[in-house]
Chains A and B, each alone.
Chain A
Amino acid sequence: MTSVTPELTPPAQSLAIESRSLTKRFGRQTAVNGIDLTVPRGSVFGFLGPNGSGKTTTIRMLLALSQATSGTITVLGQSMPAGLHEVLPRVGALVEGPAFYPFLSGAANLRRLDTADRHAPGQTRRARVHLALERVGLTHAADKKVQAYSLGMKQRLGIANALLLPRELLILDEPTNGLDPQGTREVRSLVRSLAAEGTTVFVSSHLLAEVEQMCTHAAVMSAGSIVAQGTLAALRAVGEARIRVRTPDTAGALRVLTHLGLEPTRAPLDDPDPNVVVAPLVGDSWLPEAIVTALVAGGVRIRGFAIEDPSLEERFVALTGEGFDVVQ
């Protein structure tokens, strides 16, 4: 009997980025080790991984800045780097931080980079630069020299450069680096509005919360390999929800919850609040309200009760074996 393996990957034309066994070695060191990226069109794809896990090296290969040691890359249906002249005009990119001519103004920098693209019409250049600056909120600094820009402003200018033309795919490497919380929110809403227009957005980040808030899909890199990939919901489903009870009677709560057949524990030591008991919510065995009723009946004073969705953080830390910067 032969078993038919279900077709797991969507057909190629519906993919914005696809890599097969993509590998990059620098001397004896393997920076990217045979990764198979599958980025569906129209998705907001989070490319997660600790610093140094090979994210930027992968992005450089996707954009034909550096050559793969082995493996194949397809971007927007065309093989890279062979099709770079057809592909790259349809791709906007922010690679490893913004980079500009410090002695030119923000607007002059964008015009300069725009001339490099032969497909960018010169007649609309000024208007497009103005529009891109407006979109990232830099109109007031358009004529300031970039050397006077803050890191956050340079980051915005870098994103504006990626938006000079309507793009089918945006590749943004750590787009919120150096931005304040307000700027981070703006980038998130910008990404959402671009995605709503149909642009595929590929965002690399070491910030888990960022990916959780704006992405539909994600891949997790660790030490040059992809350790998990799929929709965010699917990645999340592997984890389990849990309840969190805030109470001065932690001993009583532990007793009652154990009696219900759950496996409660005190909050981890690094939790700021010591009066917390958590327990995984296995399957649908108990309704939350029934747990609360049981706790109250057991004389436990409840000051707070919450159900926490499975956290990607724990899953990803388990996958990568390294901590993420989850704090923004």
Chain B
Amino acid sequence: MSSSDVRRGARPSVMPKRSSSGWSLLGSEISVLFRRRRTCAMLAAVALIPILLAVAVRLSSEALAPGEGPPFLDRVTQNGLFVGFTAMVVAIPLFLPLTIGVVAGDTIAGEAGLGTLRYLLVAPAGRVRLLLVKYAGAALFCLVATLTLTVSGAIIGAVLFPVGPVTLLSGDTISVSESLARSLLVASYVTVSLLGLSMIGLFISTLTDVPVGAMAATIVVSVVAQILDVIPQLSWLHPWLFSHYWLGFADLLRQPLDLGSFGQNAILQLCYLAIFGALAYSRFVTKDILS
């Protein structure tokens, strides 16, 4: 039973102090996101990409001619450290955007679909705080997904193929430890590349109460951007597409290290963050929650 210390008619009641647990919603969001079976399944699928790739290369007897298949694939047999890079090239155009679409599209629409959005807001979570927490969760997923792919690639590469100093695109050779550092750099490049799409997904998610719709729309946006990116007549538009630098991490595999495309990519993604963040904000703070 409740304690008898509830002061009858004590009003205005003492406002409880804002506890320092303002971060606990973020913790809760992350734990709900990553303990969800769907998230685990997607990460497992991401981890499978380099494994499938490495096993296929290992089992085939024919040596690939240089330039055949995805970039770096011909180098995998000589050095297992290339498995991660190759898998990243394979996963960026479709598979990673797909998982981001699922996570980012689900952010607000998923809560609305379950009906939990109204309870979060009545708690009150605060609409801006909820948006920030949801975006932080999606961004963390981008990082975890790319790291999963990188780590899985490094492990399977080391198991199935010889590992040694890596010959870079520029012809220079770097040590194994430096190549692992480059792998992490590539993972962070790809994470940054996906931040713009995540924000687009968050915005789309505020538009609907049907999570599947938001997920599909986000994935469609990513596909359309990539199609536009290969139409030469639209070359003026290409530098403004969020997907334009997605495959640009080859620059990170040169000596000396060229961070130019990293910077350009980051600035472009920041623009998308600002624009779609503002759209999501203006849409969500005035939205009638009718779910």
Is B60's CB within 8 Å of the partner chain A? no
**Chain B, Cβ-Cβ closest to A66:** B288
Q: Verify if A100 is at the interface (C-beta below 8 Å from B).
A: yes
A135 in contact with B288 given A63-B122, A121-B21 (CB within 8 Å): no
Flag if B114 contacts A135 (CB, 8 Å).
no
A118–B125 alpha-carbon span in the complex (Å): 7
A120-B19 CB under 8 A given contacts A67-B286, A99-B116, A115-B25: yes
CA distance A90 to B118 in the complex (A): 16
Q: Min CB distance, B263 to chain A, in Å?
A: 37
With both chains docked as a complex, state the minimum distance between the C-beta of A15 and any C-beta of chain B, in angstroms: 11
Quick check: B21 and A118 within 8 Å, CB to CB?
yes
Among the 9-residue stretches A3-11, A81-89, A306-314, the one with 4 or more Cβ atoms under 8 Å from chain B is A81-89
> Would you call B19 and A88 a contact (CB within 8 A)?
no
Q: Does B274 contact A (CB under 8 A)?
A: no
B120 close to A (CB within 8 Å): yes
Q: Is B15 an interface residue (CB 8 A)?
A: yes
Interface stretch of the complex, out of B5-13, B173-181, B223-231, B264-272: B5-13
If A66-B289, A99-B116, A198-B7 touch, whether A112 touches B32 (CB-CB below 8 Å) is yes
Chain A residues, CB < 8 A from B289 = 60, 65-66
Q: Which residues of B contact A119 (CB under 8 A)?
A: 15-19
Given contacts A42-B9, A112-B32, contact A117 B37 (CB under 8 A): no
Residues of chain B contacted by A48 (CB below 8 angstroms) = none
- Give CA–CA (A199, B27) in the complex, Å: 32
B67 interface hit (Cβ, 8 Å): no
A121 to B20, CA, bound (A): 8
Q: Complex Cα distance A245/B147, Å?
A: 82
Q: Is the CB of A198 within 8 A of B28?
A: no
Question: Is A197 part of the contact surface with B, judged by Cβ < 8 Å?
Answer: yes
Q: Counting CB contacts under 8 A, is A93 at the interface?
A: yes
Given A103-B37, A113-B116, A118-B22, do A197 and B6 touch, yes or no (CB 8 Å)?
A: yes
- Chain B CB within 8 A of A116 CB: yes
A84 pairs with B124, CB closer than 8 A: yes
Inter-subunit contact A76/B12 (CB<8 Å): yes
Q: How far is the CA of A98 from the CA of B288 in the complex (A)?
A: 19
Closest to B114 in A: A99
Interface residue SS majority, chain A: loop
Is residue A161 within 8 Å, beta carbon to beta carbon, of the partner chain?
Answer: yes
Kindly provide the distance from the CB of A272 to the nearest chain B CB, expressed in whole angstroms: 40
Residues on B with beta carbons closer than 8 Å to the beta carbon of A84: 124
B24 within 8 Å of A by Cβ? yes
Alpha-carbon distance A91/B16, docked complex (angstroms): 13
CB-CB under 8 A from B9, the residues of chain A are: 41-42, 198
Contact B27 A90 (CB under 8 A): no
Which A residues lie within 8 Å of B10 (CB)?
A: 198
Distance of A102 Cα from B6 Cα, bound (Å): 33
Q: Hey, which chain B residues are within 8 Å of A41, CB to CB?
A: 9, 11
Given A88-B123, A104-B32, A113-B120, A198-B19 contact (CB < 8 Å): no
Q: Does B159 contact A (CB under 8 A)?
A: no
Which residue on A lies nearest to B19, using beta carbons?
A121
Q: Does A77 contact B (CB under 8 A)?
A: yes
Which residues of chain A come closer than 8 Å to B290, judged between CB atoms?
A: 60, 65-66
Which of B2, B7, B16 meets A89, CB within 8 Å?
B16
Q: Mark B28-48, 1 if CB is under 8 A from A, else 0.
A: 100010001100000000000
Contacts of A63 in B (CB 8 A): 118, 122
A39-70 interface with B by 8 A CB criterion: 41-42, 60, 63-67
A210 in contact (CB, < 8 A) = no
On whether the beta carbons of A113 and B119 are closer than 8 Å, the reply is yes
Do B122 and A135 touch (CB < 8 A)?
no
Decide if B115 touches A117 in the complex (CB within 8 Å).
no
Say whether A97 faces chain B, with CB atoms less than 8 Å apart: yes
**Contact, CB under 8 Å: A100 / B114:** yes
Show 19 A/B contacts (Cβ-Cβ < 8 Å), sorted by A: A65-B122, A67-B286, A77-B11, A86-B15, A89-B15, A89-B16, A89-B124, A97-B115, A99-B119, A100-B116, A101-B32, A104-B32, A114-B123, A117-B123, A118-B19, A119-B15, A122-B24, A197-B6, A197-B8
Given contact pairs A118-B129, A198-B6, enumerate 11 new A-B contacts (beta carbons under 8 Å).
A63-B122, A65-B118, A66-B290, A77-B11, A103-B36, A117-B124, A118-B18, A119-B17, A193-B1, A197-B2, A198-B10
Q: Which 3 A-B pairs have the closest CB atoms?
A: A99-B115, A116-B123, A66-B288
